[in-house]
A and B are shown apart, each in its own frame.
Chain A
Amino acid sequence: MAAGEQALGRVRAGWQGFVWYVKAVLGEDAYQVYLDHHRRVHPGTEPMSEREFWRDKMDRQDRNPQGRCC
């Protein structure tokens, strides 16, 4: 019984790790990264909202295009 639970726990941890990895590679954690940074460096000031952040991110990409390889 305990062994089964342990195995289940491992599967769950593996799945969570996989989801974390896919999201991070796709860049979904960008807002969280920004928030963490903002709280550390500019404590007490209001960070951008999630919507504002993504708009700003896209606008920055517009101004500074990045290559994709062949």
Chain B
Amino acid sequence: MSEERPAERGPAHSRSDVLVQDPNLPPVAVDPGTLAAEERRWPPAKIALWVAIALLGGVAWSMIALVRGETINAIWFVFAAVCTYLIAYRFYSKLIENKITRPNDLRATPAEYKADGKDYHATDRRVLYGHHFAAIAGAGPLVGPVLAAQMGYLPGTLWIIFGVILAGAVQDYLVLFFSMRRGGRSLGQMAREELGVIGGTAALIATLTIMIIIVAILALVVVNALGESPWGVFSVAMTIPIALFMGVYLRFLRPGKVSEVSLIGFVLLIAAIVAGGLIAETSWGQALFTLDRTTIAWGIIIYGFIAAVLPVWLLLAPRDYLSTFMKIGTIVMLAVAIVLVRPEINVPAMSEFAGRADGPVVPGTLFPFLFVTIACGALSGFHALISSGTTPKMVHKERQTRFIGYGGMLMESFVAVMALVAALSIDRGIYFAMNSSAAATGGTVEGAVAFVNSLGLTGVNLTPEMLTSLAANVGEESVVSRTGGAPTLAVGLAQIMQGLIGGLGMMGFWYHFAIMFEALFILTAVDAGTRVARFMLQDTIGNFIPQFKDVSWRPGVWICTAIMVAGWGYILILGVTDPLGGINTFFPLFGIANQLLAAIALAVCMAIVAKQGTFKYLWVVAVPLTFAAVITITASILKIFSPDPRVGYWANNFAYRDALARGETSFGPSPDVASMEAVVRNTTVQGTLSIVFVVLTIIVILMAAIATIKSWRSGGGRSAEEPAVVSRTYAPAGLIPSPAEKELEDRWNALPVDHPHLHLFHRSH
């Protein structure tokens, strides 16, 4: 790329350069010169600290990547991840800040100049970090890494850690910053502004389709975890009355007592898990709560519809509190347990399936399928919706976006690393018995043992006793073909936790605790996802039939909710009844959809960076965008055109069609004609969705490329940023304030609350 263009100091920037703050207030920003001097100063202690971090990280990476012992200790994964995150945060995100975002604390954020005390309000950076993290982290980073563990520990670890620092965290940070500069506008609005009508519409359709597929696959994960599991069904079902009780409590008994009711809810939840164990042992409990997967799927569909039309206060809000409470608590618990227990991992760095396309967990070769299997945790397009949703409206000072956007995503990546470690710590034979589809194992212990031992994996010698005793320990009828990642993670977590608290006798509790918290995240995502998608659909239909825009018009709400639920419900039922497995055939679509959304978000960011005229550092966005585009498009092309029926949807479709045309009555794992017809139907849906996704991706990326080239030719473009308003408040940028920041913060804290100039801005409007 060429040198930086003069337009870099275009109108938008010069305007903020002349911002003059109220002279009666202490400075609202640390002097940039002082900040730069602080950063340039490297006293020996600071050098020693960073050398130590780099050395520890280096040692950890060599243990993981180079040393080939029998086993490797999980603690090295933690060290490698944390040291790499620290270095990337300190140096790479700083580069992005200096060269691309260039935040200016003289400028007020939307939380300040649009302050309404409700949606827009300046929030303490540490609190907002927690908020943002709770909103972006869900079941995604817990599921993908578990499935990718079939390729060995190294590919997944490398992608989670390097993917996040170069792609995922960059996307989250840039979207948050650009949305904040635009008054908290959504990704869809920014896409329309930057990419024009065609690009914007393609982005909207893509987002809607992606919502449907993501909700469907998440629901499939829950169904697979709860099928034939009376304990799981009972305790997860109990979350509904618990949430309803919490909702009524907050509405009528003690409004606003959020932490109190969350604590009550948490205690009830634990009671529900314990009670589930007792009830699952009784004959009536087994008769009542042992449900097959299709029944559970229908239950979730009906639940999804009702939950999305019920008022927020009754079900969604209280469950959201509970889920935030559980999320932060459980993740801290898992981190502490891994550090204390330090499990040994005896999975090879690169497994037999890394170079082959016939992995039983998810099919396809390492490139590109590793990168779509692990989406959340490395690069998740869904985050762009959060980073352009509530968070930008609550940022106190511009310089804090690096800590919240980039730093928040690093934390999610760390969750993914821990999920990977938990999945790797269980026996490999058990891992494959749990994650191979029932089409391969027949769903029986004998079948699973025969299948797994026939895979010819080194060091794997599965016995029936291993499977039956594990099932007994976790309180399940069987652990064979419990696909979807959640049960495997639950076993991993239960093994680690029982080593710390309770021993084998507590393993069932820990297993169901893990299932419960994953189900809780997913049910919240199902409900919230349906609502957001319905809202988008109402808005779109409203362009033709204005009445649909009225969100309190009940028929419109019901019709649009029903359409969205029918969309994901259909795919869920297909997944549950898929003769070829379900998760293994549908999960790639989930990853492709998520990475596609990431490509859209990064494309929007690239167009914005080009408009700013920052061409010298365009690679910071262009590299992850190219990578996301290449993996999504390659994976889609393989899913559409691969002649290998295990990988290509259409190849499989044609093979089954031909078999039916020849009059065969069984084919592959399908024992009868009905099952063969089901495969034809499912592969048609999957193949069509793949085509839709790849076409939309190509349109959006093309539009972004055109917008970028246009900006390059003219040396930049008109910025869609809101006009700069001068700030009247101050707060430090990162977790720990620098000396200059601390000093300034103290000056602000020393101001009397009724200082006459403190709130002038607010009174003026």
Contacts of A64 in B (CB 8 A): 535, 551
- The residue that A68 contacts in the complex, of B124, B138, B325, B328, with Cβ under 8 A, is B138
- The residue that A24 contacts in the complex, of B117, B124, B218, B321, with Cβ under 8 A, is B124
Interface size on B, residues (CB 8 A): 63
- The residue that A36 contacts in the complex, of B117, B250, B323, B525, with Cβ under 8 A, is B117
Q: Cβ of B135 and Cβ of A28 under 8 Å apart?
A: no
Hey, what's the 0/1 contact readout for B57-97 against A, CB within 8 Å counting as 1? 00000000000000000000000000000000000000000
Contacts of A54 in B (CB 8 A): 250-251, 255-256, 313
Contacts of A65 in B (CB 8 A): 312, 528, 531-532, 534-535
Quick one: which of B376-398 are within 8 Å of A by CB? 376, 380, 382-383, 385-386, 389-390
Knowing A33-B121, A37-B121, A40-B763 are in contact, say whether A70-B140 is a contact too (CB < 8 A).
yes
Does B116 sit within 8 A of A, measured CB to CB? yes
Does B127 sit within 8 A of A, measured CB to CB? yes
Contacts of B121 in A (CB 8 A): 33, 37
Complex Cα distance, B134 from A33, in Å, reads 20
Quick one: which of A10-55 are within 8 Å of B by CB? 19, 21-28, 30-31, 33-38, 40-41, 50-51, 53-55
Does A58 sit within 8 A of B, measured CB to CB? yes
Interface-facing stretch out of B257-265, B635-643, B697-705: B257-265
Contacts of B529 in A (CB 8 A): 67-68
Q: Cβ of B127 and Cβ of A24 under 8 Å apart?
A: yes
Does B737 sit within 8 A of A, measured CB to CB? no
Interface size on A, residues (CB 8 A): 38
Contacts of A61 in B (CB 8 A): 312, 316-317
Does A6 sit within 8 A of B, measured CB to CB? no
Q: Cβ of B552 and Cβ of A63 under 8 Å apart?
A: yes
Q: Cβ of A41 and Cβ of B312 under 8 Å apart?
A: no
Does A5 sit within 8 A of B, measured CB to CB? no
Q: Cβ of A22 and Cβ of B259 under 8 Å apart?
A: yes
- Which of A19, A31, A62, A70 gathers most chain B CB within 10 Å? A70
Contacts of B763 in A (CB 8 A): 40-41
Closest partner residue, chain B, to A24 (CB atom): B127
- The residue that B317 contacts in the complex, of A23, A24, A25, A58, with Cβ under 8 A, is A58
Min CB gap B235→A, angstroms:
21
Complex Cα distance, B218 from A41, in Å, reads 44
Complex Cα distance, B390 from A25, in Å, reads 13
Q: Cβ of A68 and Cβ of B525 under 8 Å apart?
A: yes
- The residue that A60 contacts in the complex, of B118, B389, B528, with Cβ under 8 A, is B118
Complex Cα distance, B324 from A60, in Å, reads 20
- The residue that B528 contacts in the complex, of A19, A41, A62, A68, with Cβ under 8 A, is A68
B binding-site residues for A, Cβ under 8 Å:
115-119, 121, 123-124, 126-127, 130-131, 134-140, 214, 218, 250-251, 255-259, 262, 311-313, 316-317, 320-321, 323-325, 328, 376, 380, 382-383, 385-386, 389-390, 524-525, 528-529, 531-532, 534-535, 551-552, 594, 759, 762-763, 765
